[in-house]
Amino acid sequence: MSNIQIWTLTFIVLSFAVYIFIAWRSRVAETKGFYVAGQGIPTVANGAAIAADWMSAASFISMAGLIAFLGSDGSIYLMGWTGGYVLLALLIAPYLRKWGRFTVPEFVGDRYSELVRTVAAAAAVIISFTYVVGQMNGGGIVFSRFLNIDINGGVVIAAAIIFTYAVLGGMKGITWTQVAQYTVLIIAYLIPAFAVAQAVTGIAIPQISFGQILDELNALSTEFGLDRYTEAFTARPMIDIFLVTLTLMIGTAGLPHVIIRFYTTKTVRGSRYSAFWALLFIGLLYTTAPAVGAFTKFNLLEGVQGRTVDQLPQWIENWRATGLVTINPDATTIESVSNSADAGADLTVNNDILVLASPEIAGLPAPIVGLVAAGGMAAAMSTAAGLLLVISSSVSHDFYFRRFRKHAHDRERLLVGRIAMAGAVVVAVIAGINPPAFVAQVVAFAFGMAASSFFPAIVLGIFWKRCNAKGAAAGMITGLALTIAYMIYTLEVFGTPENEHILDISPEAIGAIGAAVNFIVAIVVSKLTSPPPKHLEELVENLRYPAERRTVPTTGSSGNSTGEEA
């Protein structure tokens, strides 16, 4: 066993032991603790948990790799995801927290009707399944390279660990586990970034120092048949850049597993402060990612420049075993590099390995390589756990309890939730073994679905009293159906052939179009049908314009007042 494997195994075993211990200590036996952590999480801890939940394997493993090959165009992920989080924190989260329910479908159901709740619960399950596929695949990549096992086996191991601590502690256990996971992932991301920056430029602050290599990186990129790193609109058309950014932004604001995080604080004010802390914690990674992408690409190209196939660095041979790095059998010297197997380049490097391979590419010591592997697993597992909880709550709380067994006691509802989580893990493993795209792209598809379904329904539900149940249901179904249909049309999914993009709109960008269609359909149908009941209009009025210590009138089947002091 190599030093890298020993250090990787050490860090992963220690971190996994901590996660499971936290989950065991936080185990719950009632639904409020399972779904919203008893609404007792401190503000700073909730901010760290939100950051870990939101910064998935796509952020840790794949985003910097995409930026490395997309260059300037890779800013779509930085602008879309961070801008969307600000939109969520300011426009949506405080209102939903004041409403005081367990899930996003529950808010939609109280605001509109039970039919819309069912539609929303189905959408939450579809979105979460899509999102969790990327996390499972990311975990498989880590295990495959650093523990020398098959990617399929890595996916199964990652899923088993996630299921164990998620099913034990529910939201309470997941929240405190995610605090630990954020600590691991941010340390694992920043230490190699600082070390590589120091080694390449002599300045250990990557956000500042990576600008020094951009001219040389542009020249290297051109030499290897790649676009200039700093040149805009080379990888994607301008319209697609705009639409992908918008899709990721409003998709972030509609993600159920992120929104539910704002239900776990003690007060509405606490949810607002959680948003501040989360943005600070997220910013640490997101301001570092462009530098990681630039330095890794620079080291990669410089390391293979002028080399024959039998002179390549050892890291290439290490990653070839995973199938994520390939060398053209006809090549004798590396003269072209690509991230796509279809390009016919001498060297093909998968986007998803660049962050994980960055310490090896830069020649950093084995402990740092192992730490990055543990960080990648922490990122994948933290988000996957939150997604599994959304699936569990949608099936148990919004389908089973609300539609079939309204008098089910806590133990029965928790059992159904845990069974639903187990089923979700099995399906996620099967899909994670054969994902339709890179990790970040799969995650982007989930954002598109959230943008086209939840975002319009939530915004109209909060800010337009006239929106009714028929309009909301029609809008959600139409927007989501259009988005999924276009993704299937343009991707090789379920055996369908790939087709050309319509008007240069990629499958990652279609969510913005779906959201626009959702808004239009919801508004038109609401105008053509009867307005919502008077008490729902008053509910929205009180939600948006609360007087001091004013409470929201009681609605819904729970029989509890949703009012809370702001």
Whether pLDDT at 115 is above 50? yes
Average pLDDT over residues 365-378: 89
Structure confidence by residue, pLDDT tens digits, 389-442: 778 777 877 777 777 777 777 778 778 878 888 888 888 788 777 776 656 677
**Would you state the pLDDT for residue 512?**
97
Question: Quick check: 555 pLDDT over 60?
Answer: no
Query: Quick one: pLDDT at residue 239?
Result: 95
Positive or negative torsion for Cα 65, 71, 73, 76: positive
Per residue in 192-225, pLDDT tens?
Answer: 999 999 999 999 999 999 999 999 999 999 999 9
**Mean of the pLDDT values across residues 337-363?**
89
Q: According to the model, what pLDDT value does residue 272 have?
A: 76
147-154: average pLDDT? 79
Q: Which CATH number applies to 3-295+364-431?
A: 1.20.1730.10
**DSSP per-residue string spanning 305-351:** TT-BGGG--HHHHHHHTTTSEEE-TT-SB---EES-GGG--SEEE-G
Q: Give the residue, 48 or 517, on which the prediction is more confident.
A: 517
**pLDDT for position 494:** 58
CA distance 361 to 303: 8
Give the pLDDT of residue 439: 65
Question: 28 versus 398: which is more confidently predicted?
Answer: 398
pLDDT band of residue 334 (cuts 50, 70, 90) is very high
Residues 6 or more apart in contact with residue 72 via CB below 8 angstroms: 229, 230, 231, 232, 233, 234
What's the pLDDT at 498?
Answer: 79
> CA-CA distance, 286 to 444, in Å (whole number)?
16
- Asked if pLDDT for residue 31 goes beyond 70, the answer is no
Q: What is the pLDDT of residues 249-265, one digit of tens each?
A: 999 888 887 777 777 77
Q: What is the pLDDT of residue 38?
A: 53
Average pLDDT over residues 516-521: 98
Instruction: Report the C-alpha gap between 302 and 308 in whole angstroms.
Output: 13
Q: What was the pLDDT predicted at 333?
A: 94
Percent of the chain with pLDDT over 90: 40
Asked if pLDDT for residue 558 goes beyond 80, the answer is: no
User: What pLDDT is recorded for position 165?
Assistant: 63
Whole-number average pLDDT of the chain: 84
pTM recorded for the entire structure: 0.85
Query: Which one, of 4, 46, 565, lies nearest residue 268 by Cα?
Result: 565
Average of pLDDT values for 334-345? 87
pLDDT of residue 516: 98
Q: Tell me the C-alpha distance between 257 and 309, whole Å.
A: 46
Express as a percent the part of the chain with pLDDT over 70.
Answer: 90
Could you tell me if 451 and 247 are in contact, meaning their C-beta atoms sit under 8 angstroms apart?
yes
Domain boundaries, the chain: 3-295+364-431
Closest CA relative to residue 387, chosen from 430, 447, 434? 447
- pLDDT: which is higher, 558 or 280: 280
Label residue 168 by pLDDT band (50, 70, 90): low
Q: How confident is the model at residue 30 (pLDDT cuts 50, 70, 90)?
A: low
Q: Provide the pLDDT for residue 32.
A: 55
Residue 543 has pLDDT above 50, yes or no: yes
| pLDDT at residue 98 tops 80 | no
